[in-house]
Chains A and B, each alone.
Chain A
Amino acid sequence: MDLILQQMPVVLKSLNEGFLQTLKLFFVTGLGAFPLGLVIAFGSMSRFKPLSVLTRFVVWVVRGTPLMIQLLIIYYFPGMVLHNNVWGSGETGRFTASAIAFIFNYACYFSEIYRGGIQSIPRGQQEAGMVLGMTRSQIFFKVTLLQVIKRIVPPMSNEIITLVKDTALARIIALQELIWAGQAFLKGSHGIAGAIWPLFFTAVYYLAFTGVMTLVLGRLEKRLDYFR
């Protein structure tokens, strides 16, 4: 116990650094995947058949394979097959590759939620806007959008909570995120070796993070409770 207390400051510092990287990956993924998901959703709903078929095929592949494989392929493929490691070496390269894999993967999941949300709005809403002389974009922004948001908040919340935990997968390409930081003390780091308790601590970080997200998203859901 004394030993743990003694090691605590070093471990916490290390875990905090890892957590920072986890946070960064989380927010960059969100920032990229929210809009990209919308683009993909519109693609999959396009009346131009080749585009919608292609988009749905890509979404099917991305959703049907493990994110971990996508991470490995995106990270290693350019260097090993094309002999040109576009990611560069080091942490920056690993982060860029992770972010791209996460953004694309999550954008595909989000796109399906968006599509479901948009298609669940009764056609009559749009028609009511049309007969009132609204433009297409006015109908989208003033009529449909908020209703879509209301419907997609619960499923999106699930995905966002999953994303918090999925960021751990970036460990597979040695991104120095939270798990990597906690695991480092098993083999030895900062003069500490054979310590498994930091791993338990990483769990607490995730728990706190998902807890906060659950609260925030729950609040958003409440805010949209005023209409049905």
Chain B
Amino acid sequence: MAILDVKDIRKSFGQTEVLKDISFSLERGQVVSVIGSSGSGKTTLLRCLNFLERPDGGSIAVNGQVLFDAADPAARREADIRRKRLHFGLVFQSFNLFPQYTALQNVTLAGRLLAKEDPDYKTRKKELFARIDGEARQLLAQMGLSDRMDNYPHQLSGGQQQRVAIARALALQPDILCFDEPTSALDPELTQEVLRVIRQLAQRQTTMIIVTHEMAFARDVSTQVIFMDGGVVVESGPPEQVIGAPTQERTRRFLDSYNQA
């Protein structure tokens, strides 16, 4: 069964239709790269999956459970949206770390707050926090940040900040981790260190959706590539096909513009 099933997602902002019937599905452990020119709706798609935008139409199901269905009022309720969000993680282009917390605190904050909803939070608080703390340290170590845990975001490079943000998203163990151009705010050297940890995650079978402009990276990290243009999926398939031998004229033009740049 697909871990993610997106059907006919539509989204308009006022008169502009930004997403027009986007459908795709994703198996556990797969990595999907979403490519496409500026304004094609990639960010909007990720924001819909994370319930930062509410789609006008279509449905989203994770592990067969319908999280959103525009046609079904019961599956549209705002009430449990907060919990539904936990199926997804999102890594932002601009990191969005919390500046007043250290790297470690950034990673543990949400987990500690969620622990309060645990029925025996009061009696097991110490134990719960110790576990959250331990896992956070482990994640930061995995991101190569063992010696940076107690630094505040402004004391970290962009690449380090983004790796903290990745650890923060992973800490809640989302089913699907989304990245919105995770390296486009970084210079080439820092880009590589972030791409390296994303590659590692791919090797560990982390299910991911990655919006990126790094074609070489998309080509060798993904199991599937989606090319979007004007709010529709123009072409999708394995990277060797979509990036290596595109069948659509629009895809070819887009990739050509990259090769020239």
Contact = CB atoms under 8 A, between A and B. Distances in A.
A227 B99 contact: yes
Given A124-B92, A124-B94, A228-B99, A131 B52 contact: yes
A133 B99 contact: no
Contacts of A131: 50, 52, 85, 88-90, 169
Interface string B75-119: 000000011011011101010111110000000011001100000
Interface string A196-228: 000000000000000000000000000000111
B152 A226 contact: yes
Contact of A147 (B85, B100, B154): B100
Name which of B97, B98, B172 has the most chain A CB atoms within 10 A of its CB. B98
Given A131-B85, A147-B100, A142 B92 contact: no
A132 B152 contact: no
Contacts, number: 64
A134 B83 CA distance: 9
Contacts of B50: 130-131
Interface in B145-195: 152-154, 168-169, 172
B100 A227 contact: yes
Say whether chain A's binding surface is mostly helix, strand, loop, or mixed: helix
B83 A127 contact: no
Contacts of B99: 147, 227-228
Name which of A125, A132, A133 has the most chain B CB atoms within 10 A of its CB. A132
A128 B83 contact: no
Given A142-B109, A142-B113, A228-B154, A130 B96 contact: no
Contacts of B88: 131
A65 interface: no
A125 B113 contact: no
A44 to B, nearest CB: 25
Contacts of A127: 52, 92, 96
23 contacts: A124-B94, A124-B96, A125-B96, A127-B52, A128-B92, A128-B96, A128-B98, A130-B50, A130-B52, A130-B82, A131-B52, A131-B89, A132-B85, A132-B110, A132-B172, A133-B110, A133-B113, A135-B82, A142-B113, A147-B100, A227-B99, A228-B153, A228-B154
Given A131-B85, A133-B113, 8 more contacts: A125-B96, A131-B50, A133-B85, A134-B110, A142-B113, A226-B152, A227-B153, A228-B99
Interface of B: 50-52, 82-83, 85-86, 88-90, 92, 94, 96-100, 109-110, 113-114, 152-154, 168-169, 172
